[in-house]
Amino acid sequence: MAYIRASTVRDLRKKMYLKILRLPLSFFTDARKGDLMTRISNDVQEVEISVVASLTMIFRDPITVLVFVIWLFINSYQLTLFALILLPLSGWLIGRVSRTLRSSSMMGQQKLGRLLSVVEETLSGLRIIKGFNAEKKMKEQFGAVNDQYSKILKRVFRKAYLASPLSEVLSSIVVILILFVGGSLALKGSGNLNSQMLIAFVLVFSQIIPPIKNITTAWFNIQKGLGSIDRLEQVLGAEEKIQEKPDALPIKEFIDSIEFRGVWYAYNSEPVLKDINLKIKKGQTVAIVGKSGAGKSTLADLIPRFIDVDRGSVLIDGKDVRDLKMADLRYLMGIVSQHPILFNTTFLENIAFGMDVPELEKVKNAAGIANANDFIMDTENGYDDNVGESGNKLSGGQRQRISIARAIMANPPILILDEATSALDTESERLVQDAILKLMKNRTSLIIAHRLSTIQHADLIVVLDDGMIVESGTHTELMNIKDGFYAKLHSFQAI
């Protein structure tokens, strides 16, 4: 049992974690981090405590009951039949009480997920909470969720604790009725039942009560655990929209072009990209500009298959990305996101992320190009120094330079830079911009930009508005369009 319990928890957690890694990014726009953490920790533990721990009773006790019932039938079938009529009535009453336990348990775990979400948001946004004197608001929010969770928990515990006394009271009533009916039969001399046999019958019947009580308790526990199983099943059964085909094609190098052909994409039925047609040739630097919400990042996310098109296709060297092996496809790309994401480990492991055995010299070279080497060497342990939770030991600019160094280290033929210089001060921006320009030589680059000053060198500038390409050309060509969209954006930024 120790092996089964420990292995069940291990396998369930592993399945949950692997599923989270496979799910598309769109799944996490609705899911709360705190709720997912509750499912992978508390819900799995609840299954172990409630369901697996009850398996012993479920397998052992029914056999015990069966053996005793056979003996009782042999000695007095009339009295046994009477007892067996009463026991289902008791079971029905216990079932009525336990029926709502599953839904209450599920509600409790949902509230715990909400509670952990509030804690996670508080830890992430502590600077803002303190800065806006919102401690009282957060205290009230946490208190309200905590009280709701406590109320549901009381309801769950009451019903779970009711299992044992309820089964005892009902079994005692059954014993009293058996004594009454059996006594009447013994006095009448009905069948082979006499006073000695009646005492033996009651003694054996009383031995049935503990295993029946165990089965009742196990049933209550299983009902409680089924709420958690339902919550785990919601994640394990979630649709994996981004799947690799069984006969997916390998791709080891980028030869010719990336093409968007009649691409449509929608979030919650609202189109974000509408009939996008764009060709990026090998070695080109293409910049995507436009207002916030125009669909720039969505367009970039289609290339590494973070999301899939609703209509149309994205092609690399004439092959649809959905027909390619995902690992091969993503090896071709280096990605620097708008919000730098670092892991709570060393500078070395963050820069060489995804590599099994990183070479220090190559890491230092990548950090040097990204203008990160100097501040890394100023730390106590250099490249072995820890960056902290989400890189919180570093400034915004430093975090971004580490993420740029990570892209340089990967040395990919395709670069996707999602406003890569947005978090840098003017001096660092100039240095990193020079590094990016060097890096982009002989590479294909897709740059998403808000600051137009950073993309004037691009071979092609594509202007998106409301999910559609409204203008495209070089900086000079677009500036010459009278009352053009790009020219207006540029004039606003110049002011």
Same domain, 280 and 188: no
Same domain, 343 and 392: yes
> Does the structure show a pLDDT above 60 at 495?
no
Residue 397 included in any domain: yes
Instruction: State residue 212's pLDDT score.
Output: 76
Same domain, 227 and 267: no
Instruction: State residue 312's pLDDT score.
Output: 92
Distance CA 20, CA 36 (A): 9
Instruction: State residue 277's pLDDT score.
Output: 93
Burial 375-408 (b: 16+ CB within 10 A, else e): bbeeeeeebebbbeeebeebeebbbbbbbbbbbb
Looking at this protein, which amino acid is placed at residue 95? G
| pLDDT tens by residue, 234-277 | 889 888 888 888 899 999 889 889 999 999 998 877 888 999 99
Predicted confidence band at 128 (pLDDT cuts at 50, 70, 90)?
confident
Element (H, E) at 266: strand 257-267
Written as one string, the DSSP assignment of 360-424 is HHHHHHHHHHTT-HHHHHTSTTGGGSB--GGGTTS-HHHHHHHHHHHHHHH--SEEEEESTTTT-
Predicted confidence band at 324 (pLDDT cuts at 50, 70, 90)?
very high
Same domain, 210 and 299: no
If you average pLDDT over residues 456-481, what whole number do you get? Answer: 88
Residue 454 included in any domain: yes
Residue 249 included in any domain: no
Residue 248 included in any domain: no
Same domain, 120 and 41: yes
Same domain, 171 and 289: no
| pLDDT tens by residue, 130-174 | 888 888 888 999 999 999 989 988 988 887 787 778 777 887 888
> Does the structure show a pLDDT above 90 at 216?
no
- HSE value, Cβ hemisphere, 13 Å, CA-based, for 332: 25
Length of the chain: 495
Residue 243 included in any domain: no
> Does the structure show a pLDDT above 80 at 126?
yes
Domains identified in the chain, total number: 2
Same domain, 201 and 283: no
Taking the mean position of all CA atoms in its chain, how far away is CA 469?
34
Instruction: State residue 121's pLDDT score.
Output: 82
Same domain, 291 and 206: no
Same domain, 159 and 304: no
Residue 252 included in any domain: no
Segments forming the whole domain that contains residue 328: 257-494
Distance CA 274, CA 262 (A): 8
Q: Tokens for 490, please give them.
A: 């540029």
| pLDDT tens by residue, 22-40 | 888 777 777 777 788 888 8
Same domain, 273 and 337: yes
Domain boundary among 174, 204, 236: 236
Instruction: State residue 146's pLDDT score.
Output: 92
CATH (domain of 326): 3.40.50.300
Lowest mean pLDDT: which of 75-89, 148-162, 383-397? 75-89
> Does the structure show a pLDDT above 90 at 316?
yes
Looking at the DSSP bridge assignments, the partners of residue 107 are: none
Domain boundary among 201, 236, 271: 236
Predicted confidence band at 373 (pLDDT cuts at 50, 70, 90)?
confident
> Does the structure show a pLDDT above 70 at 192?
no
Return all residues near 260 (Cβ < 8 A) that are at least 6 apart: 276, 277, 278, 279, 299, 302, 312, 314
Domain boundary among 236, 265, 297: 236
Same domain, 416 and 449: yes
Return all residues near 395 (Cβ < 8 A) that are at least 6 apart: none
Same domain, 284 and 422: yes
Residue 115 included in any domain: yes
If you average pLDDT over residues 342-362, what whole number do you get? Answer: 85
Residue 246 included in any domain: no
| pLDDT tens by residue, 279-311 | 999 888 899 988 877 888 889 889 999 888 999
If you average pLDDT over residues 91-114, what whole number do you get? Answer: 78
Predicted confidence band at 435 (pLDDT cuts at 50, 70, 90)?
low
Predicted confidence band at 206 (pLDDT cuts at 50, 70, 90)?
confident
Instruction: State residue 315's pLDDT score.
Output: 93
Looking at the DSSP bridge assignments, the partners of residue 447 are: 287, 417
CATH (domain of 7): 1.20.1560.10
